[in-house]
Amino acid sequence: MMVSNETLELLKQSSSATLTSVLRKKGFKNTFMHRVAPLNPGSKMAGPAFTLRYIPAREDLDIEPLDNLTDMQRVGIEQIQAGDVFVIDAREDTRAGTMGSILAARIRVRGAVGVVTDGAYRDSPTIAESGLPAYAAAMNAHTNKTIHHPSEIQIPVACGGVAVFPGDIVVGDGEGVVVMPPQLASEVAEEALEMELRESFILTKVQDGAMLSGTYPADEGTLAEYEQWKQDRASD
Amino acid sequence: MMVSNETLELLKQSSSATLTSVLRKKGFKNTFMHRVAPLNPGSKMAGPAFTLRYIPAREDLDIEPLDNLTDMQRVGIEQIQAGDVFVIDAREDTRAGTMGSILAARIRVRGAVGVVTDGAYRDSPTIAESGLPAYAAAMNAHTNKTIHHPSEIQIPVACGGVAVFPGDIVVGDGEGVVVMPPQLASEVAEEALEMELRESFILTKVQDGAMLSGTYPADEGTLAEYEQWKQDRASD
Amino acid sequence: MMVSNETLELLKQSSSATLTSVLRKKGFKNTFMHRVAPLNPGSKMAGPAFTLRYIPAREDLDIEPLDNLTDMQRVGIEQIQAGDVFVIDAREDTRAGTMGSILAARIRVRGAVGVVTDGAYRDSPTIAESGLPAYAAAMNAHTNKTIHHPSEIQIPVACGGVAVFPGDIVVGDGEGVVVMPPQLASEVAEEALEMELRESFILTKVQDGAMLSGTYPADEGTLAEYEQWKQDRASD
Amino acid sequence: MMVSNETLELLKQSSSATLTSVLRKKGFKNTFMHRVAPLNPGSKMAGPAFTLRYIPAREDLDIEPLDNLTDMQRVGIEQIQAGDVFVIDAREDTRAGTMGSILAARIRVRGAVGVVTDGAYRDSPTIAESGLPAYAAAMNAHTNKTIHHPSEIQIPVACGGVAVFPGDIVVGDGEGVVVMPPQLASEVAEEALEMELRESFILTKVQDGAMLSGTYPADEGTLAEYEQWKQDRASD
Amino acid sequence: MMVSNETLELLKQSSSATLTSVLRKKGFKNTFMHRVAPLNPGSKMAGPAFTLRYIPAREDLDIEPLDNLTDMQRVGIEQIQAGDVFVIDAREDTRAGTMGSILAARIRVRGAVGVVTDGAYRDSPTIAESGLPAYAAAMNAHTNKTIHHPSEIQIPVACGGVAVFPGDIVVGDGEGVVVMPPQLASEVAEEALEMELRESFILTKVQDGAMLSGTYPADEGTLAEYEQWKQDRASD
Amino acid sequence: MMVSNETLELLKQSSSATLTSVLRKKGFKNTFMHRVAPLNPGSKMAGPAFTLRYIPAREDLDIEPLDNLTDMQRVGIEQIQAGDVFVIDAREDTRAGTMGSILAARIRVRGAVGVVTDGAYRDSPTIAESGLPAYAAAMNAHTNKTIHHPSEIQIPVACGGVAVFPGDIVVGDGEGVVVMPPQLASEVAEEALEMELRESFILTKVQDGAMLSGTYPADEGTLAEYEQWKQDRASD
């Protein structure tokens, strides 16, 4: 299912905290990746997941030189589409990298908007500098093949304890990564934006000294005030 | 690739310690599952792996009543062949069971010779009593769907930190579970049996007071003694 | 809220696996303690929780000789009522015991029907032999005061990752410990018993060769068969 | 027991390393929170603890909309006094946030000087930017209610493996958080300041090439030198 | 320092719980190994530590065939004296065994009274059956060389989070392993025996219905009763 | 074995990712420290290891005032040579610091080029500011003696799961720390530099749009291009 660029742009305007709240109201309670953090605090991305799954390495599986036509990591990278987020299931094992700076560069050239792993990156300082939004559980210079064998692409994976299906919408900010089914993306984006707006209004009120009671959650009076504020704002 | 029953019987006559040693000599160093233990100390099994892979549960995926025709755990169980070992990749997450006693009974009726998970079982006391060799990282009464969604059958999986491909030969004893590619099974079985015999000879010598030096590893003299002992034994 | 002895007896006739399933249907999905196992595989208990909460030890808090009139662990033990289960929140820290054999004996004399901790016991072999159902995450000979300070009794606690309120019904079997609000105990007991019966019928069918489809979950035909079987059984 | 602002100001002039050393000399060896780090490296705070304790969430406990008059997190926040440090016991469970930016803002408006949790914050980038000293074990966008139920305020808690009583003095710097009983605060502050001064003298000597022997710990000669330096400094 | 056989025999008559309590009174608070358990619940042993230390394996260090004259594990085993307890520092890494059944047999023939590791054994079922008291954190069939390189013998080691010096007295029972400096062994043995006796008296009183207050800890009255009981017992 | 300054300078010009790759080709697969990160992202260092090994603290071992002539941490620091990297085995235990800012200053004055621990530092903000490259698993203000006893210097140690022998070459960058035997340092330095050059060529090509196939790994055509580029570059 295609999610429009407009929706993806809207999703990037909400924080991962707001998005998880909206998803929770829709019954999805396990949507934020555990122990996966941005390499750069200012990261921001949104796009459909392109998944890669690692299993534990076995000595006979990954013989050098690596063959770009059969190695599933490489095959996957050459299939990534513009706008995708590359999501790597590394079984939360950080004893080796899952990717280095050259592959990250190729991913970027192909138009991907971010990379996510619940393992580690190698060359992580270079990846961080490159500007590609990148999320991981650790840094590790060891090449993937010591610990990880690339097994499949574009199947459902686990990443940071969250289920990620190919095409799921993956949104990252300075806090981490949230995942949602694509059919929910549009309504989540809109509800989140509304919630962001309402919460920014509430935040201002709180900063101005309002008590929590009546303000957060907003009671009828506060909601009316908010609607008025929104209207005033719109008519500016 | 088919492995003969004779080979499987031979494999059961060797300990998992001997099998990992033989595999190590062939270059396979990560073949024993980590943190996976038998429910019964006297367990013994060998057979080809039939794999099931769980990913993290998501609220919309597993709606009750469960449909045996689409739920991959159930679909898999009804495809298991006589002699198989059912291997479940639970991402080492023990916060819920991966299977209970009724499914274990069905697996047994279908002729499977063992079950393995790097998660937990529910009804584990009943499974333990049933006599079906069963290996797990823990016991947990919660049903799988709280934490796990059955995603695929018969694809490569990670179990206890070891890669397991469908058809890989899985051998279990009172220590745990070892995995090997099927094309190695026959030679591993024979070399392991020879190693078991040699080590039982060495063990007797050590119990009789032999020093390690010259005995373990065996030097030429000890090896000659061993060959003589083997010959005497054969001619009895 | 008082739960009748009859209900407690019924609860003991169901497995923790069945109880968690019934609770799950009522919306309670986190009811089984994680990483807490019985000292004796044959353990069985049910009763209201009497809670003790430990916080980290501080050198000025627990001066010897310990005063039975102010030490909250001791105060609590002398308030336990017949039928209670003593539940200790040890923050899953197993670096010291939470109780030894003399206190376990006192708890038993007071009529408690079990003890549970997400920490460790000291004198655990003696406690195991005593016959008092006891559940823990480990064995550790160190006395509690090295690591733990008894802070409160009879307040809500965390044990094995589960919320336990004073008076919650705590049921243990050979798999572990399940917790439920007392107002649910009676209906859970009855539904669980019915489920146990139905599943024992299903188990027999599966052992006799029935496929999962139509049997588990039971379709209308199987349910009718089951009702007939129940009726026949009742009229025996 | 009240601790003066002057003492709190003095405490902020010492590092957490110096404070733990002084406390250790007084017999307190477990005073620094484990795995709790500042969101901002330049953080600095000191004040009495206002405590909140979470237990594991249960589905019936936290019904939306949340009621500010009964939800203990909210009740607590509205009771925080100017100068307090808000300390949250989250059982070191980082699978959800313990608080977000709006509540952090309210806490700040109420005059609190810092927030500490051994769990995670949501909206952590916003909290970090707000300038409120904030310490946590992780970032997690999930709302607290997924995992945590606010159970009590102002009771003794565990935070980062350290006992924290309401009113305990909590001091944070770029390394982390140290906790001490209020009755010790004044003398700890003074001894720490003296130790800071002495160690800055020693550090200068070491940077100028002094060997450790005679210098650190300071022997009589070095101490005399130090006293002279202090006197000279005072008379400047 | 030599510890007499009589002292060792006395130590075996006390539980590890009693021994840690006596050691704690002498200021030693970290004497019981964490996460190290007996292979057989009925285990009992006491003797001076003979230590082996593993570091992480490196591919060039352990070339096959292994040389008994230079491999420090083997060198150590051939130096063990009758009565020793073999203590292996495996950095709590259980990804491989630290020893198998043939070496355990050699250790036993040499007169050692037990083996302890904070790693794993391979051939653990065989070691368990052999009757040699054996303690470990896990079972793992992989040979040590995959993960561990034997680096030194008879130097101070860490085992289960406890410092163990060569010659330290190591006592094991069904709960686990306690370590003490040899110069304390004799007085610890005697005080522990007295404590065991007193606690068995107290346990009987508690089983007969005595309240904790006045009994445990024993007040003057109880102590007098105990002295009388001891005297009566002695004169039987 | 002495490694020339020129070699050390070359090693600093390669990333830890490149160095682990070159070492892997030589058969060394476990050379990068796990969970050890730089205090400053821009860190860079190379030098021979000077090792210190901690064991768990015991109450009688470290009496104050500490004696610089017998405390092995202090003895070691005064033996460090210019150019050394101080490597501390803390058993990955971060419950206390392994060193503070004054000792770090002394180490720096002695000419050491970096410090590494798999435990924590205290005064870590001051150490970070000092400019001395420093790597650790955490920050912790507690002094080492609470948890750690300095046992030996200049023996083989484990650090971050890697074997480190005295004199091994330790190289650190913004990703972490890699260790190699000194006899390999020179050839590793040269091969790594060549690999860095080749990969920077490949990276440019990839950034310019080259597909992975034929480029990474480089096929004959790409290698020829690269050789030409190198030649052109040299003749500039």
What are the tens digits of pLDDT across the range F147-171? 999 999 999 999 999 999 999 999 9
Q: Which of A59, A60, A158 sits opposite B56 (nearest CB)?
A: A158
Handedness of CA A81, A82, A85, A87 (dihedral sign): positive
What are the tens digits of pLDDT across the range B69-127? 999 999 999 999 999 999 999 999 999 999 999 999 999 999 999 999 999 999 999 99
Q: Determine whether the interchain pair E65/B206 forms a contact, defined as Cβ–Cβ distance below 8 Å.
A: no
**pLDDT above 90: percentage of residues in chain B:** 94
Alpha-carbon distance of A102 to A85, in angstroms, equals: 17
- Does an interface of 3+ CB pairs under 8 Å exist between E and C? yes
Q: Which of F28, F59, F93 sits opposite E28 (nearest CB)?
A: F59
Chain E residue numbers touching C106 (CB-CB < 8 A) = 206, 211-212, 216
The nearest CA of chain F is from the CA of E210 a distance in Å of: 37
Chain F residue numbers touching A105 (CB-CB < 8 A) = 203, 206-207
Tell me, yes or no, if E137 comes closer than 8 A to chain C by beta carbon.
Answer: no
Three-class secondary structure of residue B20 per DSSP = helix
ipTM of the complex: 0.96
- Among C129, C182, C138, C139, residue whose Cα is nearest residue C23: C182
For an interface test with F, the pick among E52, E58, E118 (most F C-beta atoms closer than 10 Å) comes out as E58
- Among B136, B131, B143, B189, residue whose Cα is nearest residue B160: B136
Tell me, yes or no, if A123 comes closer than 8 A to chain F by beta carbon.
Answer: yes
Nearest CA in chain D to C149: D163
Chain E residue numbers touching F149 (CB-CB < 8 A) = 163
Chains C and E: how many Cβ contacts under 8 Å? 82
- pLDDT band at residue F233 using 50, 70 and 90 as cut-offs: confident
Alpha-carbon distance of F114 to F108, in angstroms, equals: 8
Alpha-carbon distance of B174 to E124, in angstroms, equals: 8
Q: Which residue has the tokens 């572990």?
A: C176
The nearest CA of chain B is from the CA of C62 a distance in Å of: 35
Selected residue with higher pLDDT from E42 and F188: F188
Q: Determine whether the interchain pair B60/A28 forms a contact, defined as Cβ–Cβ distance below 8 Å.
A: yes
pLDDT at E1 over 80: no
Q: Which of D32, D37, D213 sits opposite F68 (nearest CB)?
A: D213
Given its phi and psi angles, is residue D160 left (phi above 0), alpha (psi -120 to 50 degrees) or beta?
A: left
* Interval F103-132 mean pLDDT: 97
The list of chain D residues with pLDDT below 50 reads none
The nearest CA of chain E is from the CA of F178 a distance in Å of: 13
The nearest CA of chain C is from the CA of B160 a distance in Å of: 17
Alpha-carbon distance of A196 to A19, in angstroms, equals: 9
Angle CA E160–E165–E167, to nearest 5: 120
Taking the CA of residue F204 as centre, how many other CA atoms within 13 Å lie in the half-sphere pointing to its CB?
A: 9
- pLDDT band at residue E40 using 50, 70 and 90 as cut-offs: very high
Nearest CA in chain B to E100: B17
Alpha-carbon distance of B59 to B147, in angstroms, equals: 10
Q: What is the pLDDT along chain C (236 residues), one digit of tens a residue?
A: 789 999 999 999 999 999 999 999 999 999 999 999 999 998 999 999 999 999 999 999 988 889 999 999 999 999 999 999 999 999 999 999 999 999 999 999 999 999 999 999 999 999 999 999 999 999 999 999 889 999 999 999 999 999 999 999 999 999 999 999 999 999 999 999 999 999 999 999 999 999 999 999 999 999 999 999 999 988 87
Neighbouring CB atoms inside 10 A of A22's CB total 24
Angle CA D83–D86–D87, to nearest 5: 140
Nearest CA in chain D to A19: D141
For an interface test with A, the pick among F15, F28, F178, F212 (most A C-beta atoms closer than 10 Å) comes out as F212
Alpha-carbon distance of B120 to C32, in angstroms, equals: 13
- pLDDT band at residue E146 using 50, 70 and 90 as cut-offs: confident
For an interface test with B, the pick among A55, A95, A164 (most B C-beta atoms closer than 10 Å) comes out as A55
Q: Determine whether the interchain pair C175/B143 forms a contact, defined as Cβ–Cβ distance below 8 Å.
A: no
The nearest CA of chain B is from the CA of E56 a distance in Å of: 15
Q: Determine whether the interchain pair B176/E95 forms a contact, defined as Cβ–Cβ distance below 8 Å.
A: no
Q: Give Dmax over CA atoms of chain B in angstroms.
A: 68
Q: Cα torsion at A199, A202, A206, A209 (round to 10°)?
A: 170
Q: What is the pLDDT along chain A (236 residues), one digit of tens a residue?
A: 789 999 999 999 999 999 999 999 999 999 999 999 999 998 999 999 999 999 999 999 988 888 999 999 999 999 999 999 999 999 999 999 999 999 999 999 999 999 999 999 999 999 999 999 999 999 999 999 889 999 999 999 999 999 999 999 999 999 999 999 999 999 999 999 999 999 999 999 999 999 999 999 999 999 999 999 999 988 87
- Does an interface of 3+ CB pairs under 8 Å exist between A and E? no
Residue D234: its pLDDT value, please? 84
Q: Determine whether the interchain pair A123/F37 forms a contact, defined as Cβ–Cβ distance below 8 Å.
A: no
* Interval E210-232 mean pLDDT: 96
CA dist list (Å): D212 to E219, F51, F106: 52, 18, 7
The H or E element that residue E183 is part of is: helix E182-207
Phi, psi at residue F112, to the nearest 5°? -65, 150
pLDDT at F236 over 80: no
Burial of B64 (0-12, 13-18, 19+ CB in 10 A): exposed
- Among B133, B45, B149, residue whose Cα is nearest residue B89: B149
Peptide bond into F41 cis (omega under 30): no
The H or E element that residue B22 is part of is: helix B16-25
- Does an interface of 3+ CB pairs under 8 Å exist between D and F? yes
Q: Determine whether the interchain pair B158/A91 forms a contact, defined as Cβ–Cβ distance below 8 Å.
A: yes
Three-class secondary structure of residue D5 per DSSP = helix
Residue E62: its pLDDT value, please? 85
Q: Determine whether the interchain pair D59/C27 forms a contact, defined as Cβ–Cβ distance below 8 Å.
A: yes
The nearest CA of chain C is from the CA of B114 a distance in Å of: 16
Q: Determine whether the interchain pair C212/B78 forms a contact, defined as Cβ–Cβ distance below 8 Å.
A: yes
Q: Determine whether the interchain pair E34/C140 forms a contact, defined as Cβ–Cβ distance below 8 Å.
A: yes
3-class SS letters over chain F: CCCCHHHHHHHHCCCHHHHHHHHHHCCCCCCECCCCEECCCCCCEEEEEEEEEEEECCCCCCCCCCCCCCCHHHHHHCCCCCCCEEEEECCCCCCCECCCHHHHHHHHHCCCCEEEECCEECCHHHHHHHCCCEEECEECCCCHHHCEEEEEECCCEEECCEEECCCCEEEECCCCEEEECHHHHHHHHHHHHHHHHHHHHHHHHHHCCCCCCCCCCCCHHHHHHHHHHHHHHHHC
Residue C65: its pLDDT value, please? 85
pLDDT at F224 over 90: yes
Given its phi and psi angles, is residue F43 left (phi above 0), alpha (psi -120 to 50 degrees) or beta?
A: beta
* Interval F124-147 mean pLDDT: 96
Q: Determine whether the interchain pair C163/D57 forms a contact, defined as Cβ–Cβ distance below 8 Å.
A: yes
E 41-80: CB under 8 A from C = 41
Residue B212: its pLDDT value, please? 96
- C139 bridge partner residues: C121
Chain E residue numbers touching B17 (CB-CB < 8 A) = 97, 100-101, 122-123, 141, 143
What are the tens digits of pLDDT across the range A81-121? 999 999 999 999 999 999 999 999 999 999 999 999 999 99
Q: What is the pLDDT along chain B (236 residues), one digit of tens a residue?
A: 789 999 999 999 999 999 999 999 999 999 999 999 999 998 999 999 999 999 999 999 988 888 999 999 999 999 999 999 999 999 999 999 999 999 999 999 999 999 999 999 999 999 999 999 999 999 999 999 889 999 999 999 999 999 999 999 999 999 999 999 999 999 999 999 999 999 999 999 999 999 999 999 999 999 999 999 999 988 87
Q: Determine whether the interchain pair E102/B199 forms a contact, defined as Cβ–Cβ distance below 8 Å.
A: yes
Burial of D150 (0-12, 13-18, 19+ CB in 10 A): buried
Chain D residue numbers touching F93 (CB-CB < 8 A) = none
* E125-132: Cβ within 8 A, 24+ apart: E125/B15, E125/B41, E125/B173, E125/B174, E125/B175, E126/B15, E126/E101, E127/E39, E127/E100, E127/E101, E128/E39, E128/E40, E130/E101, E130/E104, E130/E105, E132/E104, E132/E107, E132/E108
* Interval E130-138 mean pLDDT: 97
- E114 bridge partner residues: E85
Nearest CA in chain A to F198: A102
Q: Which of C66, C74, C141 sits opposite E16 (nearest CB)?
A: C141
What are the tens digits of pLDDT across the range F33-79? 999 999 999 899 999 999 999 999 999 998 888 899 999 999 999 99
Residue C183: its pLDDT value, please? 97
Q: Where are the alpha helices (DSSP H) in C29-178?
A: 72-77, 101-109, 124-130
- Does an interface of 3+ CB pairs under 8 Å exist between C and D? yes
CA dist list (Å): B207 to A96, B158, B212, F131, F164: 43, 39, 11, 60, 37
pLDDT at E236 over 80: no
Neighbouring CB atoms inside 10 A of F184's CB total 18
Contact E181, E110 (CB under 8 A): no
Residue F74: its pLDDT value, please? 97
For an interface test with F, the pick among D175, D179, D215 (most F C-beta atoms closer than 10 Å) comes out as D175
Chain A residue numbers touching B27 (CB-CB < 8 A) = 59-60
- Does an interface of 3+ CB pairs under 8 Å exist between C and F? no
Contact E73, E99 (CB under 8 A): yes
Q: Which of B28, B59, B60 sits opposite A59 (nearest CB)?
A: B28
Alpha-carbon distance of B91 to D202, in angstroms, equals: 52
Peptide bond into F181 cis (omega under 30): no
Tell me, yes or no, if E202 comes closer than 8 A to chain C by beta carbon.
Answer: yes
Chain B residue numbers touching C206 (CB-CB < 8 A) = 102, 105-106, 109
Contact C120, C137 (CB under 8 A): yes
Burial of F197 (0-12, 13-18, 19+ CB in 10 A): middle
Alpha-carbon distance of E182 to F143, in angstroms, equals: 28
Q: How many residues does the structure list for chain B?
A: 236
- Among E110, E148, E118, E158, residue whose Cα is nearest residue E134: E118
- A45 bridge partner residues: A172
The nearest CA of chain C is from the CA of B199 a distance in Å of: 35
pLDDT at F127 over 80: yes
Handedness of CA C176, C181, C182, C183 (dihedral sign): negative
Helices F182-207 and F5-12: angle between axes, nearest 10 degrees? 30
Q: Determine whether the interchain pair E212/C142 forms a contact, defined as Cβ–Cβ distance below 8 Å.
A: no
Chain B residue numbers touching C174 (CB-CB < 8 A) = 124-125
